[in-house]
Amino acid sequence: MKFFIDTANLAQIREAQELGILDGVTTNPSLMAKEGIKGDKNIMGHYADICDIVEGDVSAEVISTDFEGMKEEGGRLARLHEQIVVKVPMTFEGIKTIRYFGEKGIKTNCTLVFSAGQALLAAKAGATYVSPFLGRLDDMSTDSSQLIAEMRMIYDNYGYNTKILAASIRHTMHIVNCAKIGADVVTAPLSALKGLISHTLTDIGLAKFLEDYKRVIDPS
Ligand code: G3P
């Protein structure tokens, strides 16, 4: 399973990269706004900075909602850097855009996916990635694991190459559940990625090892 980080924060992207497990980055307009990046030039520059830090795919989302606008904006994003994946919303115009970019060999990430039907349509249109939002479904008392399992079954039934990119990850169990079901990628905040490291028994065990070693090797 690939690990992406879901942030536009350069320091956090660097930290995940230093850990050596990072395969890519996803951003969205809310995450870009959180970093206070304004203006087309700065936004493009920020995406380029992200691409300089990581080696894998970097999702950059269009903010146009019509086909012509998404085509123009997505084209500019794709030309910016070979690592850029054009992130497009799950709408009628978005599906047309995904098909258009697919035919041009430009990678896409279909975002805001909440049902198996939407996931099927995005794969049929040729999306490179499809992003189901787990946390937002769970927030509404809907089992997000069920959606990942349905998507896995549908994509495997027909051999779709579209990758399941589980998004809106809130905690470590989302990541573990995705791995158990067979999502291709999870994109998570740094806190959830680092959360996988922690276990109280690891901390207790390490403290005991060091204490025992010190007692024998350096008894002073
Ligand atoms: O990038 C899309 C997604 O990961 C958003 O997550 O936490 O805002 O639901 P969240």
In this predicted structure, what is the pLDDT of residue 105? Answer: 97
Give, to the nearest 10 degrees, the angle between helix 116-125 and helix 92-103: 30
Ligand 1 centre distance from Cα of residue 215 (Å): 48
pLDDT value at 167 more than 90: yes
In this predicted structure, what is the pLDDT of residue 149? Answer: 98
Task: Measure the CA dihedral 97/102/105/111, to 10°.
Answer: 70
Rounded CA separation 152/111 (Å): 17
Rounded CA separation 194/171 (Å): 10
Mutate to test the pocket of ligand 1, among 12, 30, 88 (most ligand atoms within 8 A of CB): 30
Mutate to test the pocket of ligand 1, among 26, 50, 133 (most ligand atoms within 8 A of CB): 133
Ligand 1 close to Cβ of residue 112 (< 6 A): no
DSSP state letters, 163-205: EEEEBS--SHHHHHHHHHHT-SEEEE-HHHHHHTT--HHHHHH
pLDDT value at 136 more than 80: yes
Give the total residue count for the chain: 220
**Share above pLDDT 70 across residues of the chain, in percent, rounded to a whole number:** 99
Ligand 1 atom closest to the Cα of residue 27 is 1
In this predicted structure, what is the pLDDT of residue 177? Answer: 98
131 sits in which H/E element: strand 129-132
The pLDDT-based confidence of 25 (bands split at 50, 70, 90) is very high
Determine the Cα angle at 50 with ends 191 and 64, to 5°: 100
Determine the Cα angle at 113 with ends 110 and 119, to 5°: 75
Average pLDDT of the chain to the nearest whole number = 97
Kindly tell me the sign of the dihedral angle through the C-alpha atoms of 138, 141, 142, 148: positive
Q: What are phi and psi of 189, to 5 degrees?
A: -65, 160
The pLDDT-based confidence of 218 (bands split at 50, 70, 90) is confident
Ligand 1 close to Cβ of residue 136 (< 6 A): yes
71-96 mean pLDDT: 98
Ligand 1 centre distance from Cα of residue 36 (Å): 17
Rounded CA separation 9/50 (Å): 9
The pLDDT-based confidence of 119 (bands split at 50, 70, 90) is very high
Rounded CA separation 18/13 (Å): 9
In this predicted structure, what is the pLDDT of residue 79? Answer: 97
- pLDDT tens profile 173-209: 999 999 999 999 999 999 999 999 999 999 999 999 9
Ligand 1 close to Cβ of residue 28 (< 6 A): yes
Q: Whose CA is nearest to atom 4 of ligand 1?
A: 168
Residue 87: active-site member: yes
